[in-house]
Structure 1
């Protein structure tokens, strides 16, 4: 593992890394952690390891800590339901097609990190619950140089024509790069943040999550005036998904976060036709082709 400094390395070693390291080289394909990461990469597209390693770090934190109950209490603050009992919405990772894969992952996690203090996480139901905790609360740590550059471009003072040209270039750049990197383009890891995870969603949020220091330090910043006593809401969807139809937004939120959104925007669009993202993309492509023909 590469660390940014000796202090960062020592901090990780004292918190959780002694458990993850297990004394062997991770270059060894039979290393328990490497076997786990390799299995997850083969199951998940686009390939990444931050999600499964976040689970491993949670277990390692408890195993290595002298204050196990305190850490478990902190993890208990996060939502970890696998099914919304009221609306009967099953988490998409827990459908029948994922059961065999989850069992493989559970077996590998047990082999590498089993500990009686968190034995509830190693049962089939407990592991599904742990997976749901990561799926519904995990925050991508967006500190890539590309995301910083795009954010800085937003602040440039440009003419309308220059802005359109730059936006078109950025859009195409994302399309080209995402063919290789998938949706993890601007994500350099995954973390759990208790304050951020306590915020409800709105498709018209009054605050947003930022990483201003290009590290894992998260800040929530108001994007509009917030009155005293007004609820602070963020968007669980990225900017592109928020531009989709109400139907597509609701579908994504049900699958990933187990609820139907009733924010003011969704209420105002309640009578809109059920248009899927695929149909929207086809319409956008047709509009672009028409614009090119007109020009």
Structure 2
């Protein structure tokens, strides 16, 4: 357990891992903590699209007007109140050896001491034959926008360890982040890189070995170690977004203006964002690893939020509700508008983000009559029939797992016993390639199945208070849930 002023990191359990808990009261709006990342990197395609940002802290290097002109395609666009532009071009500086740019000398020096001494290409122009350029190009051909990770963050982690005075300590610092089982890691990377992920992962591993191998990181560069490393980066990486326009808008909106001028400014900002929304990206975007932030779990009823108010990688965790000592500090991994939608929609979006499964052992999670809590199946406390099915099916699944041991699919399912409205519901996880229809047939042969849905890449189930209060009836009743069921789910829906 790691404790500090106002909060502490605690280990919760094997399935959920660690969490961040308050040790004092926080009021809504209070800053819980601020944090700089261990490592940060701009997304590969974002950089290729000429989103100029400091290579160390992600601060935008374009002026607000330059940024707006490029994004809207209007070269003659003039922004009012230029004094509100946050960009200080006089402080911008370049690496002495290559073309990488920084917002200030402090960032250049920090980057050199942490990772850039190892990663510097020693060339003022881009050299496509350089091993690191080839690595980045290979990654871009595997992972197109919208981006969720970049292999160059892995490169910076390796460089950080290589350049550290205490290499073992630096290595352990990165290894503190959440890890998955081998099946979960494979499924995550499968989703990240696509179906032929094994070949792609091997190609990336060979290139990064060629460019950056060192004895101090050899554990990361084995076949299994590299799989774990890529999954670690993708699972724990926090998105970072910076924009000179958003800073300009904040500064301009704070000006004390006559009412008529205020209305003109508001209309200008509205029209500007309408134009900007037509583009591929709005912000300079990247990913970073934060020690404290990574301990915060998801909740659909979150009590805190992440913000980047300084237009760089400095993260601020702010309370959105009153928090009492002992409360877990949770954030939402989905946007605010999504949180107002149905539980079905929230979970579908969470599944897209490939997050780790949290199966709560509370019997009240499914229904008041649910007796069995955790396992392949959940059991009905009144009939206990599913408990018998659990034992029988688990044995048959074990036999099949010997031949096909890769996580491939999962089923959400609800059971209606005769004479009961809803007896129980749960999830079936299969570590096999068994056709879902076969499993459904086994369930249908013995029980009346109210609804069975199939999801090929289900890796997250939220068990927050908000979701628990909405989980009792598995039937899709709302118009939104019915409309938003995916084609995959509809294909396996059974009446």
Q: Same fold (TM over 0.5)?
A: yes
Higher strand share: 2
**Residues 66-92 of structure 1: CA distance to partner in whole angstroms, max 9, x if unpaired?**
11111112111101315577xx99323
User: Which residue pairs with 1:279 in the alignment?
Assistant: 484
Deviation at 1:245, TM superposition (A): 3.6
SS in 2 for 1:219: strand
Farther-moved stretch of structure 1 (43-52 vs 255-264): 43-52
- Whether contact under 8 Å (2:249, 2:269) holds in the other structure is no
The structure with more helix, counted as a fraction of residues: 1
Cα distance in structure 2, aligned partners of 1:49 and 1:261: 20
Aligned to 1:205: 302
Which has more radius of gyration? 2
* 1:262 equivalent in structure 2: 463
SS at match of 1:81: coil
Picking from 130, 147, 155, the partner of 1:31 is: 130
Q: How does 1:192-271 map to 2 (within 5 A)?
A: 192-254=289-351, 256-259=354-357, 260-270=461-471, 271=473
Moved more, 249-258 or 271-280: 271-280
How does the TM-score come out when normalised to structure 1? 0.77
Aligned in 2, Cα 1:276/1:33: closer, same or farther, shift over 3 Å? farther
Q: Deviations over 1:44-64 (max 9, x none)?
A: 121769622111100000111
* Residue 217 of structure 2: aligned partner: 118
Contact 2:148–2:239 (CA under 8 A) maintained in structure 1: no
C-alpha root-mean-square deviation of aligned residues, in Å? 3.6
Summarize deviations over 1:66-124 as a string: whole Å, max 9, x none.
11111112111101315577xx9932337643222222211111111111111111112
Say whether residues 1:130 and 2:229 are aligned partners: yes
Q: 1:75 to 1:26 in 2, by over 3 A?
A: farther
Q: Deviations over 1:108-149 (max 9, x none)?
A: 111111111111111121111111111111111122234556
Aligned equivalents of 2:123, 2:247: Cα separation in 1:
37
Change (3 A) 1:175 1:134: same
Q: Are 1:93 and 2:192 an aligned pair?
A: yes
Q: Trace 1:15-164 onto structure 2 (pairs within 5 A).
A: 15-24=114-123, 27-46=126-145, 51-81=150-180, 83=182, 90-91=187-188, 92-93=191-192, 96-148=195-247
Aligned in 2, Cα 1:227/1:176: closer, same or farther, shift over 3 Å?
A: same
Task: Give the alignment's TM-score, normalised by structure 2.
Answer: 0.48
Contact persistence 2:240–2:288 (CA under 8 A): yes
Number of matched pairs: 268
- Asked if structure 2 preserves the Cα contact closer than 8 Å seen for 1:143 and 1:188, the reply is yes
Whether the 8 Å CA contact 1:40–1:49 is kept in 2: the answer is no
Contiguous gaps of at least 5 residues in structure 2:
1-99, 256-262, 358-460, 487-495
In structure 1, how many angstroms separate the alpha carbons of the residues matched to 2:141 and 2:170? 31
Alignment partner, residue 434 of structure 2: none
Question: In structure 1, how many angstroms separate the alpha carbons of the residues matched to 2:331 and 2:269?
Answer: 24
SS in 2 for 1:213: coil
